[in-house]
Amino acid sequence: MADIARSIIQGMQNRRSIYSFTNESTISDDRIEELVSQTILHTPSPFNSQSARLVVLLKEQHERLWDLALEVATASVPPEQLENLYKPRTAMFRAGYGTILFYEDPAPLKPLEVKWPMLIDKFPEWSDHSSGMHQFALWTLLEAEGLGCNLQHYNPMIDARVSQEWKIPLEWRLKAQLVFGKPTGPPREKKFEPLEKRMFVHGR
């Protein structure tokens, strides 16, 4: 197997959900920016529409995000859920170093929907696929740099408040939040469903 394939597999194996981390980083902010920009440049998108928009929040800006998430939850969920779920979870995420917000901009898809009307219901789905690819790439890259990450979905609850805070166009659709910091513990145990019921090869 080529070395590059071996490295990619190793990166995929090391990418796990890590929930326990500190507000430090194992790499510089410049390096984080480089990983984000390389991900944006080299992740595929439907018809090369390049609809992904990534917002990186570090340090106090990251803490602000999770303060806002708690504020919004306080105003919108029942008290018991707030105490048992939202308070501890937002505190856990706030303890990290940064969060990357994954948006999709519908504007680049508009001309494609006109040109390919028979695919109109497919474009939002493919745009989601592309966002997922960006999420996976960055999750894997950040963990390869020694950071611990987890993927959250506080959208749509936080969308309006976040758009207002960071002046993000309202049309952009928030898809996911990747939270990261310096890990303080291992990932949880992971069970694998048997490959025999998940992979089918014909014509070998």
Ligand X SMILES: Cc1cc2nc3c(=O)[nH]c(=O)nc-3n(C[C@H](O)[C@H](O)[C@H](O)COP(=O)(O)O)c2cc1C
User: Where does this chain bind ligand X (CB under 6 A)?
Assistant: 16-17, 150-153, 187, 190
Whose Cβ is closer to ligand X: residue 42's or residue 190's? 190
Using CA atoms, how far apart are residues 87 and 77, in angstroms rounded to an integer? 11
CB of 3 to ligand X, least distance (A): 24
Structure tokens at 61: 């800006």
Alpha-carbon distance of 66 to 161, in angstroms, equals 11
- Min. distance of Cβ 90 from ligand X in angstroms? 12
| Residue 110 Cβ vs ligand X, minimum distance, rounded to whole Å | 26
Which are the contacts of 200, defined by CB distance < 8 A and separation ≥ 6? none
CA distance 94 to 32: 18
* Choice between 112 and 176, CB closer to ligand X: 176
Q: State the nearest-atom distance from the C-beta of 203 to ligand X, in Å.
A: 30
E-state strands within the chain: 21-22, 52-58, 98-104, 148-152, 173-183
- Residue with smaller CB distance to ligand X, 15 or 53: 15
Q: Which CB sits closer to ligand X, 25 or 140?
A: 140
